[in-house]
Structure 1
Amino acid sequence: MNIIGRLTRDAEVRRTSLEKQVVNFSVATNDSYRNKQGERIEQTTYFDCAYWLSPKVAQILTKGTVVELTGRVSARAWTGSDGQLHAGLNFNTSQIKLHGGGKKSETVQTPTGTNNSKEKDDLPF
């Protein structure tokens, strides 16, 4: 399954009880449709994501980054401390493709003085 969404918080690296590292992050996906009355309805779905292959990816998974994820989805349900029933979606991802938009991608700068093309003297400006 593939999903495309925006990270809602910076990724965190956690360790399991068996000392295995996992990268956890949350992604929001947006969808819209028109109801029978012709009104546009916006719907946001949140996924709690886990990536087990390399903890280094957490450095580039920052809040606001648009990502395309490949993996499998599962649902979970629990009763909160207040007695209320809750449900959520987990996404175990095996592939991450960045589409930009996060804090780090905004601060990327191109180095100056590395233009290898020759300037032409006959430019009109």
Structure 2
Amino acid sequence: MVQKRDEGKEVVNFSIAINDRYKPKGSAEYKEVATFINCSYWLSSKVVQWIKKGAFVQVTGRIGMHVYINNEGNPVGSLDFHVDSIKILVFAKKAISAEKRNSKRAAKGRKEKVTEDVSF
């Protein structure tokens, strides 16, 4: 999503998901965890045409935290990443096709780790 700021600058805001999988001690089952990170990219809004849900990206920059109290009075936090550069490793169309193939395999009873899951 591209937003125009007061100064006339445009920022591209998107989220990435980092998927992790581990087996807890004493368990036979794997646990899957996704960590979502909010990203902002200020250098060029043209990149928005390439970063779609399902794309694999490599980002560099600096990470920070956004902590606040929500309407219910509970503390809430999020990871924010200020992106200096973006490298697209797999475009969304290819990643979505691979995701569909893996979904079909899983439906046949095979349990495979889907590494193409990237949420934007």
Q: Which runs of 5+ in 1 are unaligned?
A: 1-11, 107-125
Aligned to 1:13: 2
Report the residue type matching 1:21 in the other structure: E
Q: Which has the higher strand share?
A: 1
Supply the distance in 1 between the matched residues of 2:74 and 2:93 (Cα, whole angstroms). Answer: 36
Supply the distance in 2 between the matched residues of 1:22 and 1:104 (Cα, whole angstroms). Answer: 26
Deviates most, 29-38 or 43-52: 29-38
Higher gyration radius (CA): 1
Aligned to 1:63: 53
Report the residue type matching 1:70 in the other structure: T
The 1:105/1:64 distance shift into structure 2, 3 A limit, reads closer
Show the 5 A alignment for 1:68-83: 68-83=58-73
Supply the distance in 1 between the matched residues of 2:80 and 2:91 (Cα, whole angstroms). Answer: 23
Report the residue type matching 2:7 in the other structure: L
Supply the distance in 2 between the matched residues of 1:34 and 1:105 (Cα, whole angstroms). Answer: 26
> How large is the Cα RMSD of the aligned pairs?
2.0
Question: Offset of 1:103 from its aligned partner?
Answer: 4.2
Which of 90, 93, 114 pairs up with 2:83? 93
* Structure 1 contact 74–89 (Cα < 8 Å) conserved: yes
- The size of the alignment, in residue pairs, is 95
Question: Offset of 1:17 from its aligned partner?
Answer: 2.3
After TM superposition, the score normalised by the length of structure 2 is 0.69
Show structure 1 runs of 4+ deviating over 4 A. Answer: 103-106
Which of 17, 41, 48 pairs up with 1:28? 17
* Structure 1 contact 70–94 (Cα < 8 Å) conserved: yes
Supply the distance in 2 between the matched residues of 1:29 and 1:86 (Cα, whole angstroms). Answer: 20
Which of 44, 49, 57 pairs up with 2:39? 49
1:57-85 CA-to-partner distances (Å, cap 9, x unmatched) read 11111111111111111111111122222
Residue 26 of structure 2 is aligned to residue 37 of structure 1: yes
Q: Which has the higher helix share?
A: 2
Secondary structure of the residue that 2:53 maps to in structure 1?
Answer: coil
Supply the distance in 2 between the matched residues of 1:35 and 1:75 (Cα, whole angstroms). Answer: 28
